[in-house]
Amino acid sequence: MLAITGPHDTPAVMKAVHAHLPKPHDPHTDLIPPQGIKLTPGHYAYLKIAEGCNHRCSFCIIPSMRGDLVSRPIGEVMQEAENLVKAGVKELLVISQDTSAYGVDVKYRTGFWRGRPVKTRMTQLCENLAELGAWVRLHYVYPYPHVDEVIPLMSGGRILPYLDVPFQHASPRILKLMRRPASAAKVLRRLQGWRQTCPDITVRSTFIVGFPGETEAEFCELLSFLEEAQLDRVGCFAYSPVEGAAANDLPGAVPEEVKNLRKEKFMLTQARISAQRLKRKVGKTVRVLVDEPGVGRSSADAPEIDGVVRFSGGRAGEFRDVTIDRADQHDLYGRLQ
């Protein structure tokens, strides 16, 4: 057997081996198409880039279940993404427990894709995914300084101008109890910077209300943060203890009815902000990816968690332009062009 390849290119090594030694039949994998198995509709797919997490948020048990961050090799991630796009996927949703930490565990090791060296790092991942010609949407990004590097890719139209950043709270004391590294003031400055570079950016986040010990004043601090941050999309959970989480030992459990009232107040505040922000899109023409006839999503709408754009007509999986006639708190309504 003679082949020129190396440890950077597992598929080429395996091809050379299988040329002489046929691959044994494996009933568990041989029925799987080369692009893998997806449980989402054909036109979008989740691309998992890492497993586990180096944070230790006190309300979460993921690190104790899945361990510290383990990044998938960049070449493998890019190959999967390329296979998905070849199989007809139009939108890749990049996910992990902390997408911005991609590659930290392997010291941003250099891998290979299409024979080129590529670093195991979020920015380089985004630059390379952008070459595939599909929509690329980033989920679960921490507001670290290096996240600023991907914003120009968004303003340049290479990846979707969308960031899903779970802030969880704004009060410094609650964030500390949650063992979250962020600070509200820094987050606001960072948001401002992102919007300066990319005015069309959509920022989604999630928050927890009623965390143990949360006072009325700290909850109000969170509401003021919402007013100031003017986020586009927001999810809110009333705190509920998870078996095995460190937060269970914290004093000052918030009564259920207070948690629910806070959640309601939080959602009402955000509904007003979202409605105002969506209204600004009326009269504009936006590109959508059609999920089913009459329903599509723009760059601002991740599947399942955000709103949609409604119109009449269209076929699942096609990109269309829609002129927006009206908006409500979640969705836009318009006409296909």
Task: Provide the token pair at 255.
Answer: 């009564």
Quick one: how far is CA 319 from the chain centroid? Answer: 21
60 is an interface residue for ligand SF4 by CB under 6 A: yes
Between CA 78 and CA 57 the distance in angstroms is 30
Helix (H) or strand (E) holding 112: strand 110-113
Among 55, 195, 265, 287, indicate the residue that binds ligand SF4 (CB under 6 A): 55
Single out the segment in contact with ligand SF4 by CB under 6 A; choices: 60-68, 88-96, 199-207, 249-257. Answer: 60-68
Residue closer to ligand SF4, measured from CB, 98 or 301 = 98
Size of the site for ligand SF4 (CB under 6 A): 9
Contact of 94 with 136, CB cutoff 8 Å = yes
Interaction between residue 134 and ligand SF4 (CB under 6 A) = no
* Residue 105 CB, nearest approach to ligand SF4 (Å): 13
Least separation in angstroms between residue 180's CB and ligand SF4 is: 7
Handedness of CA 223, 229, 232, 235 (dihedral sign): negative
Q: What are phi and psi of 200, to 5 degrees?
A: -90, 5
The least CB distance from residue 98 to ligand SF4, in Å, is 5
Q: Considering only residues 85-104, where is the footprint of ligand SF4 by CB under 6 A?
A: 97-98
Question: How is residue 58 written in tokens?
Answer: 């006190």
Q: By CB under 6 A, which span of 6-14, 52-60, 265-273, 282-290 interacts with ligand SF4? A: 52-60
Query: CA–CA separation, 49 vs 65, rounded Å?
Result: 18
Say if CB 277 and CB 284 are below 8 A apart.
no
> Rounded to 5, what percent of the chain is helix, strand, coil?
35, 20, 45
Distance in Å, CB of 305 to ligand SF4, minimum? 16
Site for ligand SF4 in 317-336 (CB under 6 A): none
**Using CB under 6 A, which of the segments 58-66, 72-80, 230-238, 325-333 binds ligand SF4?**
58-66
CA 260/CA 210 separation, integer angstroms: 8
Q: How many angstroms separate the CA atoms of 105 and 103, rounded?
A: 5
Interface with ligand SF4 by CB under 6 A: which range of 56-64, 129-137, 151-159, 288-296?
56-64
- Per DSSP, helices labelled H in 62-215 are 62-66, 74-86, 122-129, 151-155, 172-178, 184-197
> Closest CB to ligand SF4 among 224 and 248?
248
Of positions 62, 104, 282, 295, contacts ligand SF4 by CB under 6 A: 62
Which residue in this structure is represented by tokens 């996240």? 147
In sequence order, which residues have a C-beta less than 8 Å from that of residue 249 and are 6 or more positions away? none
Phi–psi pair at 105, nearest 5 degrees: -65, -25
Q: Would you say 100 or 128 has its CB closer to ligand SF4?
A: 100
Q: What is the closest distance, in whole angstroms, from the C-beta atom of residue 301 to ligand SF4 in the complex? A: 23
Q: Is 53 near ligand SF4 (CB under 6 A)?
A: yes
Distance CA 112, CA 77 (A): 11
Shortest reach from residue 76's CB to ligand SF4, in Å: 22
* String of contacts with ligand SF4 for each residue 10-49, x by CB under 6 A: ----------------------------------------
Residues within the interface to ligand SF4 (CB under 6 A)? 53, 55-57, 60, 62-63, 97-98
